[in-house]
Structure 1
Amino acid sequence: MAALAARYRVSPRGGMGVHRDIASALAAAARKNRPARIEIAPGHYAEPLLVRGEVELVATGEPGSVTVILPSGTALETAGTVLARGLVLASRDADVVRCAAGTLTLEHTEVRAPGGVCVHATPGTAVTLRDSAFRHGRVLFAGAGGHVERCRFTDAADNALAAIEGARVSVRDSRFTGARIHGVRVSGAQAEVTGCELTGTGLAALFADTQAWLAVADCTIADVGAEAVGYLHHSRGSVDRVRVTGAEQGIAVAEGSDPVVRGCVLTDCRDTGITVRAGRGRFEDCEVAEAGNVAVFVSERGAPEVHGLRVAGGNVGVVVTGTGSRGAFHGVRVTDLTGVALRAYEGGKAVFRDVRVERCVTHLETRGDAGTTAEVDGGVFTDFSMSAVEVLGTSRVTLRQVTAERGMVGFAVAEEAQLFLTDCEARAVTSAGAAALGQGRLVARRLRVAGSESLGLLAQDRSRLEVHDSEFTDCASVGAFFRNEAGGLFVGCAVSGTGAAGVRHNGRVSMPSLRSSLSVEEWQDETNQPPPTHVTYNNNVTIHGGVRDSQLAVGNERVDMNQRIDSRRTPHTDEDGSPA
């Protein structure tokens, strides 16, 4: 434009061939109906600017040396092909800058809108904002195209930038600070946000709603009042390599939304790292650290697919809860939580593949009706304070090739729940490798328990067993202990080592093909024993005293166990369990 444009000079001091105000220069340019370049000397110009045609408005001094400040109304309205560079534009209660038609570019410009809109790009227009600052008001793209690069958005009274009504906007290398509502809101529109920094927003930093499309990459988000990134009302898009610190929720997906999230790090979120509520989403190679409540929370028919999740520190790891909620988790690593690592509750369904959990209280817990299920295929649970797996209510859990090592109870089922084990192993537990209590059902094939400091397998109350082809080795007290009205099958199993007894039974468990180098004893419910020590297992497990002469409550207050294990031994038995 510059080579062919007619030049007009503006200065408050006037002079030969110099306009004293910008409006008169624009009027002169309009009469010639050709491209114009308006060169503006430093000064204050309290006049609204109405620009038509192909025009450049350029400050000749340093950026900010030319101010157009009005008490109200629009400071700059354009229709054509307009470039403004180095200006300060301000007003109240209106669109400070309005692109009514054509294209507008602002460079090295500051716009202030204490009571309105900094820039309004109307339908069908295209606005480019480069190296500029926007204070107090919002930048609005309504059905318009937009490109924003290296800009600053400060203290917006509502959203700092909004794309609505089919707008298509890209935002790069910009900073958003202190917006009262959202940093960027996309509603029924499309936006790309890349390399930006967002801090101190009142609600979500980046928010997509009403079938919006939002792609976010290489951004940092800190200290926001709600979500760092939120998708609502059937919105889609992607979130790549975003780092979040100090949000209420790191990434939230709700109401039919379905984004792809990759390589994000979510740290110190006050509530949850990732929330999926009545939505979907694919999450790849993400990390959640020190979440205040839950690292990943799925509810209200949410159904995410998660690959490569890392959870470190905080309270609870993964929760899937509510009828119709489900989640598929592949390659999960969870460490150092104060609560439960993996949890399915109240109708939730969770599937885990290739899981490793270390140093948590309980590593997998389920509670709820028969629709509450969890599957683990390939898992290692180590250094659990209470239990590796705890199955309660009428829920169902299926474990395949899962190892539980160094903790109190390896695999436990209670109340009316069901637990299915295939090719699983418990090692170096202090209380029991596997336990069935209440009316729980335990089905195990090729279960291996080694090095328990007390019991290999415990069944009591009215629990039911189906244990096939399993091995119990070097359990310090008893390899398998069946008491009260517990019954079922113990088929093709082997008990060996140096414990006090191989099997102590109540006569209600069939034991064909039993192999044991230790004694097989019939258990007697003896009375007048010394006062017992206590073991409490009510979602958490606390042991006070040794296993001998102990009382165990598992699952909740409704399940009680009076357990007495002594060191009396009977002669060795044949393989079928009868005395030799």
Structure 2
Amino acid sequence: MVARYLVSPHGGRRAHPDISSALRAAAARRRPARIEIAPGRYEETLTVRGEVELTAAEGPGSVVVGRTRGSALDSFGSVRVHGLTLVGREADAVGCHTGTLTLDHSEIRAHGGVALHARPHTSVTLRDSVLAHGRALFTGGTGLVERCRFTDAADNAVAVLEGARVSVRNSRIEDSRIHGLRVSDAHAEVIGCELTGTGKAALMADARARLTVADCVITAVHAEGIMFIEQSRGTVDHTRVTGARHGIGAASGADPVVRGCVLTDCRDTGINVQTEARGRFEDCQVLNSGNIAVFSTDGGAPEVHGCRVVGGNVGVAVIGGARGRFTHLVVEDLTNTALRVFDEAGAAFAHVRVERCSSGLEVRGNGGTTAEVSDAVFRDVEMAAVAIGGQSRVTLKDVTADGGVLGFGVADEAQLRVTDSTVTAVSGAGAGALGSGRLIARNLTVTGSGSLGVYGTGSAYVDLARSEFTDCATAGASFDEEAGGQVVDCAVNGTRGVAVAGNGRVDTVRLRTSLKVVRHAEKPAGPPPQIINIFNGPVFNGPVRDIQVAWGNENVVQNRGENVRNENENEADAEADTGADAETGTDAETDTDTDTDTEGNGSRS
């Protein structure tokens, strides 16, 4: 049977004048006790032992307990607190030393200390309560927090440490100076919570912790919405992060699983994986990121599946020795590049759709920089669907480029392999190689190019086989300067332009066409060449007869002069081969009358 005690500062029949005297009386009887406290402020520190319930007789907020300095309550046993306001200064406001402690409809105010400290091997439950200024600290025990509010914590609102296991549900954490919740070498779950205004990551997992997050809303944080570091693990499901610097981050060997989340208006990145971290991100949306939607760097290696990127600057960037695998990815309406792989990074893209972006895929770096793209569509990309440079190596299989200036381009010493791919309705060229770049294409189809099907310039090497070029306005294939290679078992169809405009260095074998093959290319009639400046990529100086594209140059100066040719020399030029099948032709050198000077080092991304 529970013994009942009354406390009233104004006295009364059988009433104790303070709470401590009632506690002493209950301890002497060694029975379960219920202490009912009349409204008032009690300047005392409570030490509660045994099975005791402390309740505000006239409801929450009517009883305030605490001294000017020190703790308000220390619990040893099985203690329940209902409706009290507990105030601590320069010490733990409430401490659970042994046993269990339950607080409901209560308030804890900690001025310069810990609001609640649950020590090892204890169990603490908070329900429908408020913690102000201080933090709830769980070290080695268990905890359950339901429908609570944490406000203005001087550091972390909730800290789960040293093997503790804590569940926080349907609660609100606001304006913490550091983290909303930090779990370190422990296990925490955060379900159905709202976190806002934290100084650093709203949710932080470190030191091999496990963090489970579901159905949460995180807004207006100064750093990451959710951060996993130091080999921590966990899951994040159906959570929305808005207005963070980084939406969800992983670093230093962490490996979270993130599913069905929405990351909106992040000031820098939506998903950020670095320093040997991994992570799997499924069915997420990253909307309007300020810099990069999905970022992998410094050895990071995420897997991204079924995600959608809309709006913002750059879609996916894999740089600095990082890796990444991206499948069933949709990228739309970016002001910059959809996919970027730089500086010894490697990425694989499969089942990808890119629409209405400034450029599609950019790859640049040394020979360790690689990208594989399969079953992808680049539609309405303003500049190039694919542009690679440096010494990078890229393979494309079953890739479609529809619209824009250039389909697939390779420059510097890079190598591009294209298989079973299609380019339609580009204004410049379907595919091109320049510098010392190598373009190897099998079963490439280019239709409706505003100028060229494929071209090579500089000292590039172009190897075409079993490819088809239809309705290209100027030429199906064009080669100038020192470009070499071969065109084998290809077809050029349509009624415009020429089949091949050559330079004498490219062999044509079993070419099927009804158009002429120009051994010594003539400048086609028409308006002056168009010059297009594309930043953040390799330099593309396209065929001088029709289009020039410069990557990474802030200033392009074109100097055009009349190239006076002797009429007798014109008459001496070799006639082009015509007919349905022109076999084993070797093109002569192509003339040019346009010089292009480029200046500048390229713009900042």
TM-score range, shorter chain: over 0.9
State the shift of 1:297 in Å. Answer: 0.5
Percent identity between matched residues is: 57
Query: Does 1:328 find its partner at 2:325?
Result: yes
State the shift of 1:489 in Å. Answer: 1.4
For 2:213 and 2:527, the matched residues in 1 are separated by 66
| Aligned residue-pair number | 573
Q: Which residue of 2 aligns with 1:319?
A: 317
Q: 1:554 to 1:30 in 2, by over 3 A?
A: closer
AA at the equivalent of 2:89: R
Task: Select the residue among 343, 347, 350 that pairs with 2:344.
Answer: 347
> Is contact 2:388-2:537 (8 Å) kept?
no
For 2:577 and 2:300, the matched residues in 1 are separated by 57
AA at the equivalent of 1:260: V
Q: Secondary structure of 1:117's partner? A: coil
Q: Which residue of 1 aligns with 2:226?
A: 229
For 1:551 and 1:151, the matched residues in 2 are separated by 64
Q: Which residue of 1 aligns with 2:598?
A: none
Q: 1:555 to 1:493 in 2, by over 3 A?
A: farther
Q: Which residue of 1 aligns with 2:290?
A: 292
> Is contact 1:488-1:509 (8 Å) kept?
yes
> Is contact 1:553-1:561 (8 Å) kept?
no
For 2:553 and 2:104, the matched residues in 1 are separated by 67
Q: Secondary structure of 1:332's partner? A: strand
Tell me the C-alpha RMSD between the 2 structures: 2.6
What TM-score, normalized to structure 1? 0.95
Q: Which residue of 1 aligns with 2:5?
A: 8
Q: Secondary structure of 1:407's partner? A: coil
State the shift of 1:571 in Å. Answer: 5.2
Residues 306-348 of structure 1 deviation map (CA, whole Å, 9 limit, x = unaligned): 111100000000011112x110111000000010000110011
> Is contact 1:552-1:563 (8 Å) kept?
no
AA at the equivalent of 1:575: A
For 2:558 and 2:463, the matched residues in 1 are separated by 21
For 1:480 and 1:150, the matched residues in 2 are separated by 69
For 2:360 and 2:551, the matched residues in 1 are separated by 16
Task: Select the residue among 247, 251, 272 that pairs with 1:250.
Answer: 247
Q: Which residue of 1 aligns with 2:88?
A: 91
Residues 462-511 of structure 1 deviation map (CA, whole Å, 9 limit, x = unaligned): 00111110000000111100111111111100001022211101111111
Q: Which residue of 2 aligns with 1:490?
A: 487
Q: Which residue of 1 aligns with 2:582?
A: 575
> Is contact 2:98-2:119 (8 Å) kept?
yes
**Matches for 1:464-543 after TM superposition, within 5 Å:** 464-524=461-521, 534-539=531-536
State the shift of 1:112 in Å. Answer: 0.4
Q: Which residue of 2 aligns with 1:435?
A: 432
Q: Which residue of 1 aligns with 2:422?
A: 425
For 1:475 and 1:334, the matched residues in 2 are separated by 29
> Is contact 1:536-1:542 (8 Å) kept?
no
State the shift of 1:543 in Å. Answer: 12
Q: Which residue of 2 aligns with 1:176?
A: 173
**Matches for 1:544-563 after TM superposition, within 5 Å:** 548=545, 551-554=548-551
AA at the equivalent of 2:301: A
State the shift of 1:535 in Å. Answer: 3.9
AA at the equivalent of 1:161: V
Q: 1:562 to 1:435 in 2, by over 3 A?
A: farther
Q: Which residue of 1 aligns with 2:184?
A: 187
> Is contact 2:223-2:245 (8 Å) kept?
yes
Q: 1:17 to 1:550 in 2, by over 3 A?
A: closer
Residues 150-199 of structure 1 deviation map (CA, whole Å, 9 limit, x = unaligned): 00000000000000011000000000000000000001110000000000
State the shift of 1:553 in Å. Answer: 3.5
**Matches for 1:22-41 after TM superposition, within 5 Å:** 22-41=19-38
Unmatched 5+ stretches in structure 2 = 564-572, 587-605
Residues 442-467 of structure 1 deviation map (CA, whole Å, 9 limit, x = unaligned): 01100000000111101111001111
Q: Secondary structure of 1:447's partner? A: strand
Q: Secondary structure of 2:25's partner? A: helix
For 1:112 and 1:60, the matched residues in 2 are separated by 20
Task: Select the residue among 201, 205, 208 that pairs with 1:211.
Answer: 208
Q: Secondary structure of 2:89's partner? A: coil
Unmatched 5+ stretches in structure 1 = none
Query: Does 1:390 find its partner at 2:391?
Result: no
Q: Secondary structure of 1:28's partner? A: helix
Task: Select the residue among 441, 448, 453 that pairs with 2:450.
Answer: 453
For 2:544 and 2:57, the matched residues in 1 are separated by 87
Q: 1:550 to 1:126 in 2, by over 3 A?
A: closer
Q: Secondary structure of 1:26's partner? A: helix
